[in-house]
Structure 1
């Protein structure tokens, strides 16, 4: 991959990463409630799914998902259902008098898995990758090395952007420790997750 192609891909990746989506919502939600250390687990889960999706594209399977209406629909509905479930769990999360939730410790162990499932449940992501990445592949150069460079670039940019979202949200963490603020935060992010799930359920392949 030439420097010119790589810079073009870098710019495209940055624009996509900065666009708000379920991954950004998850990063901000965890960063605000639990701090950056736990948000990083969710962010690494998002990247695990992202690299898996890129691997499928490299193997030519991304185009199959884009072409198969049934496969796209199945992944889309599963992803939408998971986002709605996350939203309902967030909305209903019990809060103690001091703002602490009995579910907090259990939730902390599952942020990495949540990150994976949030990204894997979005079929438009792999369709987008399948449409974007080939434009920056030089057919005259070894593809394996190019996909490696692309993977490292996507991973680095997305980690940086999601970390920015989480750290920004974390700056307000001390202001949402009382019970009323925690309840409001839970319901706000719960509603956003449910809304994201509904939007995904209505999304098309194009």
Structure 2
């Protein structure tokens, strides 16, 4: 992979990282409820899933997954179901006051697990890693080192996206001082997550 190809990869990749999606929406919600640092740390859960997908892509196993319509369907249904479940949980969540929410005990493990499972159940992520990254690989050169560079770049840019969306969540948090506003915010996030989950069902296996 040439330096020119890598420089073309970076802005295209960052555009994908910054695209609104279920994980970025989770970062906004977590930051608004529990703070910037908690959201950034919880976001490492999605990095674990993406790192595993990158490893599968680099070893060629993702090609098998991409070729299997049944496996793809299973992941799609699981991802859609999990997002719809999260949506229902947000709709049913209690709209506690802003101060009590900020001081409540937040389980980093639970938040990171949500991020990990949402990322793992996203069929669009599979398509990104199997169709997007290989476009920047020079098959005349060793493939593994190139995937290592591309994968590391992707994860760093994803971490930056986590930080930016968490900062946006902190800004929104300043406006969520009333319980009724917090209820509206949670339900809006829940609605968007549910809509994204339903959109997963429309993703086709190519």
Quick check: TM above 0.5? yes
**C-alpha displacement of 1:205:** 2.2
What secondary structure does 1:176 align onto?
coil
Comparing 46-55 with 133-142, which one deviates more in the overlay?
A: 133-142
**Corresponding position of 1:140:** 140
Shift of 1:131: 1.0
* 2:122 is aligned with 1:122: yes
- Distance 1:119-1:195 versus aligned 2 partners, 3 A rule: same
SS in 1 for 2:205: coil
> Where does 1:6-85 land on structure 2 (aligned, <5 Å)?
6-85=6-85
Displacement after TM superposition at 1:195 (Å): 0.9
The RMSD of aligned alpha carbons is: 1.9
Distance 2:186 2:128 in 1: 31
Indicate how the Cα distance of structure 1 residues 193 and 100 shifts in structure 2: closer, same or farther if over 3 A, else same. farther
1:99 to 1:89, Cα distance in 2 relative to 1, 3 A: farther
Q: CA deviation at 1:108?
A: 4.4
* Matched-pair contact (CA < 8 Å) for 2:31–2:39: yes
Aligned to 1:178: 178
Structure 1 residues 14 and 185, CA gap change in structure 2 (3 angstroms): same
Distance 1:186 1:36 in 2: 17
* Equivalent pair of 2:97/2:177 in contact (CA under 8 Å): no
- Counterpart Cα distance in 2 of 1:145 and 1:34: 38
User: How far 1:15 moved relative to its partner?
Assistant: 1.6
Change in CA separation of 1:185 and 1:108 when aligned onto 2, cut-off 3 Å: farther
User: Once the two structures are superposed, what CA deviation does each residue of 1:121-173 show, in whole Å capped at 9, x if it has no partner?
Assistant: 01221122111112211223332221111111001111112211110121121
Are the equivalent residues in 2 in contact too, given 1:23–1:119 (CA < 8 A)? yes
Take 1:130 and 1:39, find their aligned partners in 2: how far apart are those partners? 28
Structure 2 Cα separation of the partners of residues 72 and 43 of structure 1: 24
Match of 2:96 in 1: 96
Quote the Cα distance in structure 2 between the aligned partners of 1:122 and 1:98.
31
Is the counterpart of residue 111 in structure 1 residue 99 in structure 2? no
Is it true that 1:161 corresponds to 2:169 in the alignment?
A: no
Distance in 1 (alpha carbons) for counterparts of 2:48 and 2:98: 35
Structure 1 runs of 4+ aligned residues shifted over 4 Å read none
What is the SS of the residue equivalent to 2:88?
helix
Unaligned runs of 5+ in 1: none
